[in-house]
């Protein structure tokens, strides 16, 4: 009888933390998921820490909204202005640089706007508008969409004036946007990571690259546990500490497609451009 009571007591007692399910939720961008980066680095993180990661892949604006609601433990996105606002409003804790790559403008082989080889993004976008060449925008409040709108502004063009004529917003992620551009022989802006992993290119090719304005920085933040007490603060911070550590940065640098590096870690370095 005593042995049975001891067994029941052991079964009823809570498991130690190491034996419990250790899973965190990371709200991130479609580019980190669709490029295959998470598929490469998360198994390494789990092996080293015993923590599994559930990824909610959305546009940056939507990912930040997930964090605002407390439906994620960590936010890992790429719109520095929006990220800084997220922290300033008390939704996130201590944004940190993680990595960067760049945006490119892709277009059809026919090249109706005649911008191939340009390194001046503003001039290229202005030429697309003037020639009324078709352009597909994500239109989804993502980091890529926000960057695209800033570039149109720098070009002195209101693309919404061309909505329904040459400019089309589809309200979807990078993969569907590129699929639509390929099907319609249109231009689009994409992060290089997703472009390198994109297989359905058809006649699309990179036509504008190398402009410093196309720089694309990624940052990571813990969702504020003071605002959302259920946030898994310890394991979420462990993920952040790992991804900016030497091991995490090496894992990011080690992800390549056809020998080409997709993301460049810079957690310990100042941003190349502002």
Q: What is the pLDDT of residues 112-143, one digit of tens each?
A: 999 999 999 999 999 999 999 999 999 998 99
Where does 24-100+217-265 sit in CATH, by number? 3.40.190.10
Q: Where are the beta strands (DSSP E) in 112-214?
A: 135-137, 167-169, 187-191, 204-208
Q: Which residue has the tokens 């998470």?
A: 38
The confidence score (pLDDT) of residue 21 equals: 74
For residue 89, pLDDT over 70 is answered with: yes
Task: Please determine, looking at this structure, whether the domain spanning 102-214 carries the CATH number 3.30.420.40.
Answer: no
Q: What is the pLDDT of residues 206-218, one digit of tens each?
A: 999 999 999 999 9
Q: Which residue has the tokens 């092996």?
A: 47
- Global pTM value: 0.85
Given a contact cutoff of 8 angstroms between Cβ atoms, the answer to whether 73 and 231 are in contact is yes
Domain boundaries, the chain: 24-100+217-265, 102-214
Q: Tell me which residue of 115, 113, 122, 97 sits closest to 213, measured CA to CA.
A: 122
Structure-token pair, residue 33: 């998921």
Looking from the CA of 158 toward its CB, the CA atoms found within 13 Å total 2
Q: How many CB atoms lie within 10 A of CB 200?
A: 10
Q: Where are the beta strands (DSSP E) in 9-59?
A: 23-29, 52-58
Mean pLDDT of the chain: 91
Q: How far is CA 256 from CA 34, 98, 103, 195, 252, in A?
A: 14, 17, 17, 13, 9
Give mean pLDDT, residues 56-80. 96
Q: How far apart are CA 41 and CA 190, in angstroms?
A: 22
For residue 1, pLDDT over 70 is answered with: no
Q: Do domains 24-100+217-265 and 102-214 have the same CATH topology?
A: yes
Structure-token pair, residue 55: 């990824």
Would strands 74-77 and 23-29 be described as parallel, antiparallel, or unpaired? parallel
Q: What is the pLDDT of residues 156-189, one digit of tens each?
A: 999 999 898 999 999 998 999 999 999 999 999 9
Would strands 167-169 and 260-261 be described as parallel, antiparallel, or unpaired? unpaired
């Amino acid at each position: 009888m005593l042995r049975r009571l001891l067994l029941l007591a052991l079964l009823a007692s809570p498991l130690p933390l190491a034996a419990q399910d250790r899973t965190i939720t990371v709200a991130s961008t479609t580019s980190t998921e669709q490029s295959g980066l998470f598929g490469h680095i998360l198994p390494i993180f789990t092996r080293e820490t015993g923590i599994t990661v559930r990824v909610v892949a959305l546009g940056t604006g939507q990912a930040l909204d997930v964090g605002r609601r407390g439906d994620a433990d960590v936010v890992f996105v790429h719109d520095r202005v929006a990220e800084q606002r997220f922290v300033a409003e008390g939704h996130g804790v201590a944004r940190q640089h993680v990595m960067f790559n760049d945006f490119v403008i892709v277009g059809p082989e026919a090249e109706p706007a005649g911008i191939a080889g340009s390194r001046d993004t503003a001039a290229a976008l202005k030429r697309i508008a003037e020639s009324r060449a078709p352009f597909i925008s994500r239109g989804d409040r993502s980091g890529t969409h926000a960057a695209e709108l800033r570039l149109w502004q720098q070009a002195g063009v209101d693309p919404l004036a061309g909505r329904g004529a040459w400019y089309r917003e589809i309200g979807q992620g990078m993969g569907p946007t590129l699929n639509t551009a390929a099907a319609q022989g249109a231009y689009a802006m994409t992060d290089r990571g997703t472009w390198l992993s994109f297989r359905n290119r058809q006649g699309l090719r990179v036509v504008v690259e190398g402009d410093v304005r196309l720089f694309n920085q990624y940052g990571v933040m813990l969702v504020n546990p003071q605002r959302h007490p259920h946030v898994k603060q310890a394991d979420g911070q462990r993920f952040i500490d790992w991804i900016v550590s030497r091991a995490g940065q090496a894992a990011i640098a080690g992800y390549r497609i056809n020998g080409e590096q997709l993301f460049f870690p810079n957690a310990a370095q100042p941003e190349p451009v502002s």
